[in-house]
Structure 1
Amino acid sequence: MLTTTLFVAAVGLLPIFASADVLNLSHLSWTLKNENGSIVIPAKVPSQAHLDLLDAGIITEPLLGINDFTQRWIVNDNWTYTADLTPLSSNLTNDTTALLVFYGIDTIANITVAGHPVDWVNNQFRQYVYDVTNLILAPVNNDTNLTIALESAWYYGLNVTARPDAETSPTGDFEYPGVRQWIRKTQSDFGWDWGPAFVPSGIFKPAYFVTLTPATANVTTPAAHPLLASTGSVFIEESSLEISKAGQTSIVRANQDADWVVNVTLAVRSVMASDAPTLTVEIPELNVTSNLLALSPIPASTNGSTFVTANFTIPNGVPELWFPANLGTPQLYNFTVTLSLDGNDTAASFTTRSGFRTIELIQTPYSQEELDARGITPGDQWHFEVNGKAFYTLGTNIIPFDPFYARMTSAQVRWVLESAVASGQNMLRVWGGGIYQPSDELTGGYDFYSVCDELGIFAWSELIFSDALYPINDFLLESVEPEVRQNIRRVNRHPSNAQWAGGNEIEGIVIGVNQSLSNGTHYLDEYQTLFGEFLHDIVLEEESSVAYTDCSTTSGVLSLDPYEIRYNNKTPGFIYGNSERYNYDPSVAFDYSTYPVSRFVNEFGFHSMPSFYSWEEVLLDPEDFSFNSTVVASRDHHPPSGSLAFPNPNANQGQGQMTVAVELFLPTPHTTDTNQTFAQWCWSTQIFQSLNMVSEIAWYRRGTGLGENNLGALVWQLNDIWQGVSWSSIEYSGRWKVLQYGMTNIFSPVVIYPFYYANNETLEVLVTSDRWETVEGSAQLTWYDWSGTELNSSTVPFSVPTLNNSLVFQATGLDNIVPPGRNASDVFLLLNVTAQVDNRTVTQEQYFTPTTLAEAKLVDPGITVTPGDDLTFILSAQGAVAPFTWLDHPAGTVGFFQDKVTGRPTNGFYLIPGIDRTLQFVLNPALSKVASPDPADFVVRSVWNNTHI
């Protein structure tokens, strides 16, 4: 028997099992060569061709300058990874079975072992396992290599679409045109309006060599992962652990009083047959162990997997429930799964973590009783309920974290997720044009879902179809089916998973095409086949604890059983499904009549520039540091070119929208220092983005108490894929934008917000709560002039019912709003709310300016910064009010600022004379290149600095 040491990518996180029959292929000696052999370099696994070329010094960092253009030659070539298998093959014996396990190949590749063809693969999102025993033992011409020959995805797509029977799509081009819907690959690899188009290729996830023998050794210690559970005779290829209520399905509501059902499914390859295998599940924290659970027979077969399933019940009330962190405790338990063959000693045992929760997407019509009692507009519901309780969904959308998946780390992803939780978010939407996010490092390269479980944030999951009409044929369906099944089974164990959507935005596209094209019904029929039937049926077969929706943004359903998509079958005046809002006319950014009246808004955003610090990471020449320089504009893909034209010929539109927004609402940046002017321009676009998004969030949250009964707002978008113009709230380096702090404030459980209707000069101040109990407190409204003089103040008590609002001020006409004798441009209103929530005091503040800050008569604030211990800073305004006072941390550091009084992330506030603020920088040491930043390197700015040094 071959016994090798398991090497793992993150040794500090996972133990090394000296007895495990698993070898990480990263420890073979790999080479990478191009098609004609002119490039032959050392390589890694997991990796991608760009990354290995970078390590070899052939190219510079792909994200520098205009490398997304100059490095297109890499996309146009074919790349081959090769490793000598001699360290493995020399030890194989006749009773040893060798399995080759790939958790991700990107994308079109021929796999060869010892000169034998193994497979041609064409799906980045699938896991592949092969029995290669006989191939290794009988090499062709003494060939001892493992070879993965990757074909250019771009040229593959061109070849496929050149076929006479290839169906064309009337939509879907961002950069590389016309091919992505034919390739099961990250769709944004071909370009999107917030990122580059590198079209990478490689063995981008971990790969392993697993050996099995007909041994009967008894396992005494459970493995930390199913991959590590093999003791010699059994390999667990897949595992699914799903927890739901008895009787619950994806379309049948959970009875919250019912017992819990724990369902375990294993995909097994075994060299030993078993007529009566058994399974046990233990939850030590609950002192719960199942009976011996009988399984169906397991044959002696390693050419394919055998699926075995068992379930058992746990009485209701025994486990504590998992909640998102802003609503409770994300309670997790250890589940030890043990497989035995024919009553013999344990064949495999592993421990995984999961939690008990129900998460349901409610899409049924409101009852007449609800309509009458609550004044709800007729139509269907569209909101989530956790453990039987409707809650307000607050969150963002995520995109791929890097153009090159293989270099992402768990530390980087954890930071983004921790930032989301710190800002009060309870759900992230995993956008359907990117990647199926992984569960753990061992198989996925980095942690995602397991961190969501731990931190307490839901993940709305999507199948990878986005903004295109996908051709329906057997070739596509045969590739997609195992892709979808594998990923759903993998994600099942995660209590953070909230739903599966069929894809991103396609329902609206196909409705439009059906109405506008003469053959539109053809595309509608194909959509119905793929998303209304094929994918729907697969999800419901594999999943019973979360819902399926055909699309991220949808009109909802006519029926769940049978599944009937509503499309345009709507009654005027009724509200259905969910909504998006993108409006790039800054003049109506705060016009509430342009906001959707919706049950749930799952996408809304406005783009902004990254900070000066991020531009320093990628701009190479001093003249590039200008708002409309060629290189800066080349990183604005809004709207996208729709072709390979470079730089983006449409960038002037996106740049122009940001320019107009800043000029309308803020002092136009212009100083004698060109770098400061550029920095202030970048920052000012972020201020407008934050103001706009905070306004929308407040409006949608207000809708909980109105006819739409809005119960969800997901901002587009959370993270960046590179240093460029995007809709993100966190930059590529992990630096928080103004929006991230703005969301932290407006995502507070109790918020106060001034709604101003410019058309009739009406101001309404509301307090909104997302709590499940009545919240009481007080609101304070204080007027100041820009010199910092307090003009008047009032305090109003309030009581807000469950998920509702309370009006605390209303007036019409500026003369009745601003203090007597004052001009609107001379004053602003500070709004504070204090409430008791979850046995603690919660505070939150907002500001109202009767005119824009571009018109406000600002005065030099004379900001001083006094450093203290542990990276604390006391900020004082010595001269006047400083709108959007902002403290920047130095280059090379990652972290956020928190208010020392409230303990909440805080930045970008109005600094008022006599009201000092103390901030502490919370450093992330794992990601920061500077371990002990110098307080002198921290920079303070406000909108005053838009026009003053």
Structure 2
Amino acid sequence: MLEATPLTEGWILRHEGDALPASVPGCVHTDLLAAGVIPDPFLGCDERAVAWVGRREWTYECELAARDGHEQTDLVFDGLDTAAEILLDGRPLGRTRNMHRSYRFDVTGLAGRLSVRFVSAYAEAEAVRGQLGERPAAYAEPYQYIRKMACSFGWDWGPTLVTAGIWRPVRLEQWSTARIARVRPVVTVEDGVGLVELHLDVERTRVEAELAVEATVGGVRVRADLDGTRGSVRLEVPDARLWWPRGYGEQPLYGVELTLLHEERPLDSWRRRIGFRSVGLDRRPDAHGTGFTLVVNGERLFARGVNWIPDDVFPSRITRERYRERLRQAADAHVDLVRVWGGGIYESEDFYDACDELGLLVWQDFPFACAAYPEEQPLRGEVEAEARENVVRLMPHPSLVLWNGNNENLWGFRDWGWEERLAGDSWGEGYYLGVLPRVVAESDPARPYTAGSPWSGSWDRHPNDPAHGTHHSWEVWNRDDYADYRLHVPRFVAEFGWQAPPAHATLRRALPGEELAPDSPGVLHHQKADDGNGKLERGLARHFAVPEGDFDRWHYLTQVNQARAVAAGIEHWRSHWPVCAGTVVWQLNDCWPVTSWAAIDGDGREKPLYHELRRLYADRLLTLQARGPVRVVAAVNQAADVWSGILVLRRMSVEGGVIGSVRVEFAAEGRSVADVAVPRELEPVGPKEFLVADVDGLRALHFPMPDRDVPYPRPEFAVALVPGGIEVTAHTLVRDLLLQADRLDPAARADRGLLTLLPGERVTIGVAGWKTPDAEAARSALYCMEPSR
């Protein structure tokens, strides 16, 4: 039987003649941090102090002992970051230049000093650029010339920390006669029968040996002889239980096992978990343009999505538990789709396992983002090799429902001046419209592929045309007010978002000793977006009286504005289902402490946006929308059952009086939207009035004027301790009340975000991790809208 021995012990990192202890898997930065050679680049402005690390060459070494008892011994690297030469006692075994691939070297009968010498990723990228010529990109760093996680070169939310190292596991594999080289599982379901086709490649040391394979799944067992180095088996599972995305059903998973046999003796085995489900992408033209609707098990979905970036700029630090925690946070916010963005990586099995179990659909980008990528060698062969390996690696996961060719490169070619600058040079189109769809069609025919995001489906239309395919809405953040989200109904919004700083405790940890201000050195350093603070300020000024010299107030208002902006988009677009079939917020998570578009900051703390997503992505959403000259209450029902009840509408004054009210019956069928017209006499007039809609514990608000023009009363409320949290009782209108629990204790978390209370209303805010509850401390950590100063 094949024997695998992990190589995790005894590694050293060579640094200026010294031998430092090294962790494998790991990277140079984490090893230098552990040895005290460099400061933590996440703190203060120390990112700059470690920039030299990415410019150096580095060598990892360990002793490789001789192994007996098998015909062949292979040295297997699951991931090397990135350009490396592998030597054993000075004898070259091979070279690598792709972070996204695994590598295997024959070391049968060999022993000695194993060395993995990494050249600087900069040196490798710049050499390829010199060979193939300059290509345009959104950023100055040379990330498009090397098959490496692009965002390690920095992004508008990430630091520039160019890594090197053995970033995924390494092991010795010893085997005899034959081993399983690859299994490609095609899983489908037809008329309630689960179908599993296992396509097998083997490697042999003895070509004459008679081999057989045995496969099992769901109590079904199949056996077949294997001639040569390729074969397949087919299994049929009657009455297969369907795997559903969360909110639509359960997520049953079946264990599948394939065993390679010689004379009834097992030589090797392959084990995975699969789920039976069908998936499609409806891109048919209609009266509104060209759709983009995911269909799972015949059910058309409105995708409630988030964009995912690497959860740490040093991915080797992301544990199985951390993946599960972050994805559980997504699931708890009613997210049902996670887009793995193209400037990152193909994530580890731990990520996809968690998505399988949680019912989170995965949209997987191939790693191309915001740049023109050369299509010549040495990159072309690397791209096809990594695509073939990773498509097959990820095929077992039922959560994976879509392959996407790139992020924003088709758009960039058309709109960002690339076409003129390239003057006919290759830029990636051959990957997105040629190589990648061919690889998916040949290897994973049961899943849909789209050439890019955004992509209208044809060069006959603008790549980012909102009426066709996927759309990225960035003009609003960059130039406009978030009210402009309501001007269009895209078919599928794959990116949009609004910035806000991280939690207060996250800033305090990242910027020790700094007097916090929007323009203090550390705060500015942890803002990577072009004119990011300027856009925050202008976004605030459209709605609020911008506080001068009050960082705490600025911090609160920017977080409110982020939640309000995202809500404006999602409420509008969800209310237009089925024309709009999904929103994917930029972004769920951060890779370090930073002001960004994330809902969960770099320390894992939830911003107000996170709690707002829980409301916005719930099965049932109540929202007030304009339908031309008429205002309606849109009851968005993504549940399967009818949603019916009595809707209470109130026209109110900010002083708390009810000017008019009405009770209206409504019914929204399952997976549909019902509009209820607001009587004209209930429309608020002027800055002192607003509209409230309530049903089943859900509330929608409409203020006709920006907050800066609303004469809010001075908020009055009582705070009392209750078991597990605090109770707040409003004596006046209290708009956008927020408990910043991390100000009570860095470990504290609140169970809800922004709340608007009418006079006399009471709410309990649960607080976990608060060691010494105190009512006055709680009051000091509560923020809400105040009269304009």
Give yes or no for the alignment of 1:149 onto 2:149: no
In the TM superposition, residue 920 of structure 1 has moved relative to its aligned partner by 2.3
In the TM superposition, residue 417 of structure 1 has moved relative to its aligned partner by 0.7
Q: Which of 57, 60, 85 lines up with 1:81 in the alignment? A: 60
Which residue number corresponds to residue 264 of structure 1?
Answer: 198
Residue segments in structure 2 that go unaligned for 5+ positions in a row: none
8 Å CA contact retained: 1:586, 1:661? no
Q: Which of 647, 669, 672 lines up with 1:804 in the alignment? A: 672
8 Å CA contact retained: 1:175, 1:190? no
Q: Which of 574, 590, 595 lines up with 1:720 in the alignment? A: 590
Which residue number corresponds to residue 711 of structure 2?
Answer: 857
Q: Give the structure with the higher percent strand.
A: 2
Which residue number corresponds to residue 525 of structure 2?
Answer: 634
Counterpart-to-counterpart distance in 2, 1:572 and 1:460: 18
8 Å CA contact retained: 2:741, 2:781? no
Which residue number corresponds to residue 329 of structure 1?
Answer: 250
Which residue number corresponds to residue 591 of structure 1?
Answer: 484
Which residue number corresponds to residue 875 of structure 1?
Answer: 728
8 Å CA contact retained: 2:309, 2:589? yes
Bigger Cα displacement from structure 2, 411-420 vs 932-941: 932-941
Letter in 2 for 1:555: S
In the TM superposition, residue 155 of structure 1 has moved relative to its aligned partner by 2.1
Decide whether aligned partners of structure 1 residues 502 and 803 sit closer, same or farther in structure 2, where only a CA change above 3 A counts. same
8 Å CA contact retained: 2:711, 2:788? no
In the TM superposition, residue 186 of structure 1 has moved relative to its aligned partner by 0.4
- Normalised TM-score (structure 2): 0.93
Letter in 2 for 1:745: R
8 Å CA contact retained: 2:410, 2:429? no
In the TM superposition, residue 275 of structure 1 has moved relative to its aligned partner by 4.8
8 Å CA contact retained: 2:192, 2:240? no
Give yes or no for the alignment of 1:25 onto 2:4: no
Which residue number corresponds to residue 442 of structure 1?
Answer: none
Which residue number corresponds to residue 243 of structure 1?
Answer: 187
8 Å CA contact retained: 1:771, 1:802? yes
Q: Which of 278, 281, 297 lines up with 2:228 in the alignment? A: 297
Counterpart-to-counterpart distance in 1, 2:534 and 2:421: 36
8 Å CA contact retained: 1:587, 1:664? no
Q: Which of 401, 412, 437 lines up with 2:322 in the alignment? A: 412
Q: What is the number of residues matched between the two proteins?
A: 784
Q: Which of 393, 396, 399 lines up with 2:303 in the alignment? A: 393
In the TM superposition, residue 329 of structure 1 has moved relative to its aligned partner by 1.2
Which residue number corresponds to residue 668 of structure 1?
Answer: 546
Q: Which of 603, 624, 646 lines up with 1:778 in the alignment? A: 646
In the TM superposition, residue 192 of structure 1 has moved relative to its aligned partner by 0.9
SS across alignment from 1:325: coil
Give yes or no for the alignment of 1:365 onto 2:268: no
In the TM superposition, residue 912 of structure 1 has moved relative to its aligned partner by 2.9
Please, what is the CA RMSD of the aligned residues?
2.7
**What do the CA deviations read for 1:632-651 (whole angstroms, capped 9, x no partner)?**
11222222xxxxxxxxxxxx
**What do the CA deviations read for 1:225-268 (whole angstroms, capped 9, x no partner)?**
xxxxxxxx6544544433114xxxxxxxxxx5374320223444
Give yes or no for the alignment of 1:829 onto 2:691: yes
Letter in 2 for 1:503: N
Which residue number corresponds to residue 152 of structure 2?
Answer: 189
8 Å CA contact retained: 2:411, 2:463? no
Give yes or no for the alignment of 1:688 onto 2:576: no
SS across alignment from 1:411: helix
SS across alignment from 1:353: strand
Q: Which of 70, 73, 84 lines up with 1:109 in the alignment? A: 84
In the TM superposition, residue 785 of structure 1 has moved relative to its aligned partner by 3.3
In the TM superposition, residue 478 of structure 1 has moved relative to its aligned partner by 1.4
8 Å CA contact retained: 2:661, 2:682? no
Counterpart-to-counterpart distance in 2, 1:581 and 1:570: 14
Letter in 2 for 1:718: L
In the TM superposition, residue 542 of structure 1 has moved relative to its aligned partner by 0.9
Decide whether aligned partners of structure 1 residues 380 and 331 sit closer, same or farther in structure 2, where only a CA change above 3 A counts. same
Give yes or no for the alignment of 1:174 onto 2:146: no
Letter in 2 for 1:632: V
8 Å CA contact retained: 1:50, 1:62? no
Letter in 2 for 1:435: I
Decide whether aligned partners of structure 1 residues 868 and 236 sit closer, same or farther in structure 2, where only a CA change above 3 A counts. farther
Which residue number corresponds to residue 319 of structure 1?
Answer: 240
Counterpart-to-counterpart distance in 2, 1:589 and 1:853: 14
Counterpart-to-counterpart distance in 2, 1:868 and 1:453: 38
**What do the CA deviations read for 1:271-301 (whole angstroms, capped 9, x no partner)?**
4556543333323xx4x31321343334xxx
Letter in 2 for 1:292: R
Q: Which of 729, 736, 743 lines up with 2:606 in the alignment? A: 736
Counterpart-to-counterpart distance in 1, 2:166 and 2:621: 47
Counterpart-to-counterpart distance in 1, 2:395 and 2:359: 16
Give yes or no for the alignment of 1:942 onto 2:788: no
**What do the CA deviations read for 1:100-137 (whole angstroms, capped 9, x no partner)?**
1111110011111122111110000001111112432x
Which residue number corresponds to residue 678 of structure 1?
Answer: 551
Counterpart-to-counterpart distance in 1, 2:430 and 2:479: 40
SS across alignment from 1:485: helix
Write the mapping of 1:407-486 to structure 2, written as runs, cut at 5 A. Answer: 407-439=317-349, 447-486=350-389
8 Å CA contact retained: 1:609, 1:725? yes
8 Å CA contact retained: 1:766, 1:806? yes
Counterpart-to-counterpart distance in 2, 1:341 and 1:334: 23
8 Å CA contact retained: 2:465, 2:471? no
Give yes or no for the alignment of 1:208 onto 2:171: yes
**What do the CA deviations read for 1:906-927 (whole angstroms, capped 9, x no partner)?**
3211123322112323x5xxxx
In the TM superposition, residue 754 of structure 1 has moved relative to its aligned partner by 1.4
Decide whether aligned partners of structure 1 residues 20 and 389 sit closer, same or farther in structure 2, where only a CA change above 3 A counts. same
In the TM superposition, residue 159 of structure 1 has moved relative to its aligned partner by 2.7
8 Å CA contact retained: 1:437, 1:449? yes
Decide whether aligned partners of structure 1 residues 265 and 864 sit closer, same or farther in structure 2, where only a CA change above 3 A counts. farther
In the TM superposition, residue 571 of structure 1 has moved relative to its aligned partner by 13
Letter in 2 for 1:122: R
In the TM superposition, residue 578 of structure 1 has moved relative to its aligned partner by 1.6
Counterpart-to-counterpart distance in 1, 2:466 and 2:553: 45
Which residue number corresponds to residue 13 of structure 1?
Answer: none
8 Å CA contact retained: 2:503, 2:742? no
Counterpart-to-counterpart distance in 1, 2:542 and 2:214: 65
Residue segments in structure 1 that go unaligned for 5+ positions in a row: 1-18, 137-143, 215-232, 246-255, 299-306, 367-375, 440-446, 557-565, 640-652, 835-842, 899-905, 924-930
8 Å CA contact retained: 2:180, 2:200? yes
Letter in 1 for 2:644: E
8 Å CA contact retained: 1:666, 1:943? no
In the TM superposition, residue 448 of structure 1 has moved relative to its aligned partner by 0.2
Give yes or no for the alignment of 1:118 onto 2:90: no
8 Å CA contact retained: 1:31, 1:83? yes
8 Å CA contact retained: 1:734, 1:894? no
Decide whether aligned partners of structure 1 residues 874 and 208 sit closer, same or farther in structure 2, where only a CA change above 3 A counts. same
Write the mapping of 1:556-635 to structure 2, written as runs, cut at 5 A. Answer: 556=457, 566-569=458-461, 575-582=467-474, 583-584=476-477, 588-592=481-485, 594-595=487-488, 597-623=489-515, 625-635=516-526
Decide whether aligned partners of structure 1 residues 688 and 540 sit closer, same or farther in structure 2, where only a CA change above 3 A counts. same
Which residue number corresponds to residue 390 of structure 2?
Answer: 487
Decide whether aligned partners of structure 1 residues 410 and 258 sit closer, same or farther in structure 2, where only a CA change above 3 A counts. closer
Write the mapping of 1:738-753 to structure 2, written as runs, cut at 5 A. Answer: 738-753=608-623
Counterpart-to-counterpart distance in 1, 2:205 and 2:747: 50
Counterpart-to-counterpart distance in 2, 1:261 and 1:888: 51
In the TM superposition, residue 70 of structure 1 has moved relative to its aligned partner by 1.6
Which residue number corresponds to residue 371 of structure 1?
Answer: none
In the TM superposition, residue 717 of structure 1 has moved relative to its aligned partner by 0.7
Decide whether aligned partners of structure 1 residues 125 and 519 sit closer, same or farther in structure 2, where only a CA change above 3 A counts. closer
In the TM superposition, residue 897 of structure 1 has moved relative to its aligned partner by 3.8
Decide whether aligned partners of structure 1 residues 863 and 535 sit closer, same or farther in structure 2, where only a CA change above 3 A counts. same
Which residue number corresponds to residue 539 of structure 1?
Answer: 440
